[in-house]
Chain A
């Protein structure tokens, strides 16, 4: 091993720490915290209406009050509370969608890359079709086909979400299977299962993690778009996308109804993208072009 002076090592360590995206990490941590403890922190339940308080502006504007920090919507629901509960939707949908897409995509991609031949050709045709297809359309179609619900949204977003994973995993596995240790494992009679789990997967898992973190922002955005178009999680469950849509025609009288949830979406997506970039640079800098 190369010997390095203490100073160099400290500087190296500092370099890692310094590049760590503190603010994005804080935003994501807040999102997780808020999503878990929404019941405890939110000043009001998400669906309690109070018509006398309707269209109260946020606290920093004339007419605003500390009772409703970010104001209320046109039927007097507290914006801040609804946003806190909405964080739950964004987080749980995106985690589930990414988990499902990863599992399906990894299995399909690894099989396509390892087996090759006709299996590969068929799997890749399907993947190409899924990649070329605008995800939002299928999501809309499924959203209405099965009726709007939490499960439908997850299914709709996973329906095409696996395709990039398949693509990426296939390429990675094709590279790794050329390696001598895979051939050797086969020679000593390892089962396919063992080769997959012990030899191929550990070598592609870095790429997988990078792709997973990088897609967090995208999934949250599509979920918001779906809710915005009215094909997301049905009311009264608050979701950021549907909150933006609620305030769409009230911009003159209550801009805060749409603007705060939009900012929340933007901030979380931004934070997710920054974290993704950082993890990519740490784990797999080859993917920079992504």
Chain B
């Protein structure tokens, strides 16, 4: 077990290095920030001064090394646009995204558990078909469309909820609902198929023969085992949630990390995009690592 965890951590570390190099290379290729921030009347000397000030005149490997050293010290530099430390900006935005993302994952899990189990128990009925239909539709409809339609109906037309921004609990409703739709279809399909398999197994039959109530059989004996594959899906769908956050936060003008990334890319703000994307990569990697370890722990057959 310890060996397995060590190998996994080492692999995650290697992956992180690959990702950091790619991000670094891409960000440097993303055009010249000097031209963007220099005033229109700037002379060539001014441009050179700005370039040196930003450390952009050094060679790429040198720049990467400086980048890694600084990151190791928790220093991501200043935003080229706002000149504020990137770490500060990210810390400001992070709680908004975390609260949005966690609520969405939580809601997605609860709803999909309910939908998946119901649909597996009522296999072949209209209820099952309805759930399948929702799952298929959820995978096909563009998420920004759902968000826009939700705004149009509940905010613009009915005026029940605010259209965008951050405020009281009512500001959470639409973004969380639409963001949870990113993972809902996958979760539901997965629970449904693993529940179907398990409801057919010997020990479920035994539990029924023992005379346990249907509720005990389904929600305790069967669901416990059906949840295992969901672990991996939850890990993978974490990346989906991040992607979703960029779109949903943009649509709802939500001051989170996703919107920060979208605007940083548009403004070609190197340090911000580097830090934000690296942060996301680290979190995605850690979540996947945790999932792998939990998986090995829950299912002893899996060994490295």
Contacts and interface: CB of A to CB of B under 8 A. Distances in A.
Interface of A: 125-126, 128-129, 132-138, 140-147, 217, 221, 224-225, 228-231, 241, 244-245, 248, 251-252, 255, 258-259, 262, 265-267, 269-270, 273, 289
Centre residue among B22, B29, B240, B280 by max chain A CB count within 10 A: B22
Contacts of A145: 26-27, 29-31
Contacts of B266: 144, 230-231
Interface string B270-287: 000100010011001100
B243 A258 contact: no
Interface of B: 11, 14-15, 18-19, 22-23, 26-27, 29-31, 136-137, 139-145, 148-149, 151-152, 156-157, 193, 239-240, 242-243, 246-247, 250-251, 261-262, 265-266, 268, 273, 277, 280-281, 284-285, 288
A137 B280 contact: yes
Contacts, number: 130
B15 A138 contact: no
B144 A140 contact: no
A255 B15 contact: no
Contacts of A229: 246-247, 250, 262
B268 A132 contact: no
Contacts of A273: 136, 139-140
15 contacts: A125-B14, A125-B15, A132-B281, A133-B19, A137-B277, A145-B31, A217-B139, A221-B140, A229-B247, A244-B148, A252-B156, A262-B145, A269-B139, A270-B140, A273-B136
Given A125-B15, A146-B29, 17 more contacts: A137-B242, A137-B246, A141-B277, A144-B266, A144-B268, A217-B139, A217-B140, A224-B142, A228-B247, A244-B142, A251-B156, A262-B145, A266-B137, A266-B140, A269-B139, A273-B136, A273-B139
B137 A270 contact: yes
A126 B18 contact: yes
A128 B242 CA distance: 17
Interface majority SS on A: helix, strand, loop or mixed?
helix
Centre residue among B137, B144, B262, B285 by max chain A CB count within 10 A: B144
A13 B71 CA distance: 63
A75 to B, nearest CB: 20
Nearest to A141: B26
A128 B137 CA distance: 29
B142 A266 contact: yes
Contacts of B151: 251
Nearest to B20: A129
Contacts of B140: 217, 221, 266-267, 269-270, 273
Nearest to B281: A133
A216 to B, nearest CB: 11
B193 A289 contact: yes
B188 to A, nearest CB: 14
A235 to B, nearest CB: 15
Contacts of A230: 266
A134 B152 contact: no
